[in-house]
A and B are shown apart, each in its own frame.
Chain A
């Protein structure tokens, strides 16, 4: 039976045209408040304290290449990371002309993650409102989510978690509304959100699969009529939720295959995740030991990480399971399915050794815990038209019990904030975060020393200054940006570099002198990542010897996390032969 599409039945009394004035959602205020707060925090953490993870900075460098490199073209974004991680940065990069720190310190990435995390906060609030949570608990829960240390950090550090959470939350919200109201339009929006989520992170495939199964099951169970009609209804609903993500997957694989010849670059690229894994095993970080010890300790560690972020997660899961079984918490199903799928996927990938056991991969426990609490709060009134009453219980809880339970649940949520803050400083549980946030943790432990900014990329900055001082023209310095991207970021003359995204890179690297290149830069291969530098791979031993194509001109010692760099002057073949 057709749903009421375009049939506002105006029988009897009204005129033919009826369009309600658009009411602006007052809750948008929440978005603006969160955005403003996160922005201030971003200014503090990135501009003042230089706390920007390498991945974010690297993506800003990629975005810069699209416009400001020697060979500007959009395909420079590459296919290792999904497009939405870099494309939104491209329009921001031109700001470097008026304000260089936008790219040098990676602030452009912060702007993007601030916006998306504020959006995620707004979505959390909207979902809680759809659950029927009353104003006070709703605002409190939203605030607890927004102020969670992990959420705070990933709002300002330019990583793509914020984007993923935002789109997944849209999907959760729309799917939840579809469950309640059966409007196909909700399903359309959920499907589109999942498709766009895939463009930001490939992990979105897991929640998409979960959503497809959920929709298939529920649509089949709810449909009426002959078997053929029921199958058709279930099938078309499943297609609606699944088609956008399938199209996104196919489109991205096709584009990747056509442009770089590999459909799944992230998994196979020399620079993709797989190699990072091998590399990590050589790094003397406690986390690297994880894989080698077997799956049980690894799993335990994974759960420790999840509980660091949400200490009461297991309790919540248990209670939610019980309430779902008693048909009192239908709202909990969708968040569990969507974010649970992400977490299971991450867990599986981690146990297979495909990804690091980074704390950030488990960030999905935060929205899931928040929404579970929201779904379990007593005394809710669901908002959209309800196809079936949610609360089947005939005996609503008493007022005192209701307030007590709500206070307990929200209290638990609040308590998780300090617990996770402490957990994030633990080197075993949070190897990357404890490192990246060291200015904060150092200040907490030794307030007397004051807030000290992170010193990063000191060597690379020195290299950039030195090369700039040579006043070279376009295309004179050969440099692989795999570990060398900060050099390009700090340089005032990015076009002087010949980099892998330039379309003549292979020509230049095989015969630098013939291509007009005068210098090249090589990182010291003692750092395992630097060993993957294209110059180090193409010319083994080039850092020590120059490999017959260059003479060392200057060496820049490694400072802090940076490795050493060496600048070589290209020698033409004639000179090399006559010199030896």
Chain B
């Protein structure tokens, strides 16, 4: 039992516990005997109070001592662990206690020894690490050199100079990769800047073009606005004309109706004409027959005229004979006058007869002349009648042919009139349909009139829109101009960069990396062909 107590509490604590227990029990026994001896309630109360005092006092003191000891040991352990944590592995961790605190001390000491061993191993590792550190320092120096080169290259790059090329010939993979990446980056940036230059130039050109086109568009819109207004006015005028056309269409509709009516009348007349044509045809045939009869008569007349002509020839021959007699009578009268003149006064009666005979001869010759003239005239007239008869026959032939042709023509005319009659019926129907079409046209014209008014309003709206568009295009032009200015600014700023592409093969622009240190200098700006 004692060992179990000391195992848990330690020897001194065990003694303390045992002493406190014995003392307390002794007082309890003492106060119990006192109460039994006195045998009063006050004595019992006093004994209980005294027992409580003693128990409280002993437990309190015991607790303070135990807690204090444990706290002290824990503080010591904390100090020891703090010392171990600080690297002091020689600190002694000892405890004479055999309880849990003592075992905790022992475990702590074992931990300290273990840590000490680990520390020694760590020391050896540290020495190894020191060697590695020295090696790392060497590497670090080299890295610093590279870092210095990279730093200068970065400074150049920060200043807009991308012509610097870092050397990639090194055993340090990271530096080699950084240099490669930097060279690639600067090459890419150079290309990008070149692209930016081109892009800026293109943007500038495009901006100028856009400004110019915006100006053109603005002017076009202003022109369009003016034209749209003119169009609106024209549409208004057209609307007025449409209104007039609508009225005229109405008139035309009435006229068409009248034409339809007239066409009906014409159709009736055509029918009548057809009938008259048939009658004419019949009359033409009758005329031909009459003409044939006239021909016959004319032929008879021609025969008679020819007979008359022959007779006139005979008359003429008689007349010529009479004229010859009258000539001879006149010569006789002349001779008788001459003889009467020579016979003087006895010849006066004879001279008178001679004069009478001469006068008769002259009258006979005059009558024969007159007859000759008459015969010539009759003959001329007969010849003329003959000619005219011939001509009349010829004309009659022609007339007959013409009459036949007229009959045929009348027949054809009749057919034509009948066709005209059918056509007029078609015209009448077409005219009716035309009248309806005209009405539809009038309705359409009204609709077109309304549409024209709407179009005029739309045209004015479009004109306003065109004005607004022109204003907008002015803004666009201003914006394009501003963009052009900014692009120029961008180009100026881009021009501040010195890239591999704009360095080209200029040897004077080539930059040597590490020239300050004189080590590992690499000439770059070789045109970018092997920039990477």
Q: Do these two chains really belong together in a complex? A: no
* Interface residues in chain B, defined as those with a beta carbon under 8 Å from any beta carbon in chain A: none
